[in-house]
Amino acid sequence: MNGSVAGGGLAEEEISLTRGPSGLGFNIVGGTDQQYISNDSSIYVSRIKKDGAAYLDGRLQEGDKILAVNGRDLKDLRHKDAVELFRNAGYDVSLKIQRRLQPQNGPVSHRGDGESGGLPLAAILVPGLALAVAAVWIVLRTKRSAFKEWDCKRWPGLQNKD
């Protein structure tokens, strides 16, 4: 990370983005009128749009706090004023962001694209469900055969004449 580490496990970074066909490629939340976090009117990245400028650059992440745009401090701005500042920021945009550092216990994705880097839940659930269905089928089939045998011994007239 090309930035400084602030106290409390926070890191600051300057990120330059070039506006693409769909803008800068991320959504924001927060502001003095729409606090995202209680008692914090800061502006945060809420979503990185796939194939947008921020996604392709790979440094901006969901949850990053945006401190400044082109050197203009975002402190104490209403949400709509922050949106307007981004819209009018020009083609080349400089962002000063702050990110909470997380302890790294293994491989970590470099993008905030929603992928954890681990196995998808479906990769675990689908085989497990298939095994459960197979087990139930086997049990029912076995019980059905046992019932047929018991039924035929008890009532010989009901025997299957196939």
Give the global pTM. 0.59
Q: Looking at the predicted structure, is the pLDDT value of residue 6 above 60?
A: no
Q: Looking at the predicted structure, is the pLDDT value of residue 116 above 60?
A: no
Q: Looking at the predicted structure, is the pLDDT value of residue 112 above 50?
A: no
Mean pLDDT: which of 5-14, 75-84, 149-158 is highest?
75-84
Record the tokens describing residue 161, joined without a space. Answer: 């004449």
C-beta separation of 94 from 14 below 8 A: yes
Residue 37: the pLDDT is 86
- pLDDT tens across 52-105, in order? 999 999 999 999 999 999 999 999 999 999 999 999 999 999 999 999 877 655
Q: Which residue has the higher pLDDT, 73 or 129?
A: 73
Q: Which of 57, 43, 119 is nearest to 86 (CA)?
A: 43
Q: Which residue has the higher pLDDT, 138 or 102?
A: 138
Strand-pairing partners, residue 66, are: 43, 97
Question: What HEC string does the chain produce?
Answer: CCEEEECCCEEEEEEEEECECCECCEEEEECCCCCCECCECCEEEEEECCCCHHHHHCCCCCCCEEEEECCEECCCCCHHHHHHHHHCCCCEEEEEEEEECCCCCCCCCCCCCCCCCCCCHHHHHHHHHHHHHHHHHHHHHHHHHHHHHHHHHHCHHHCCCC
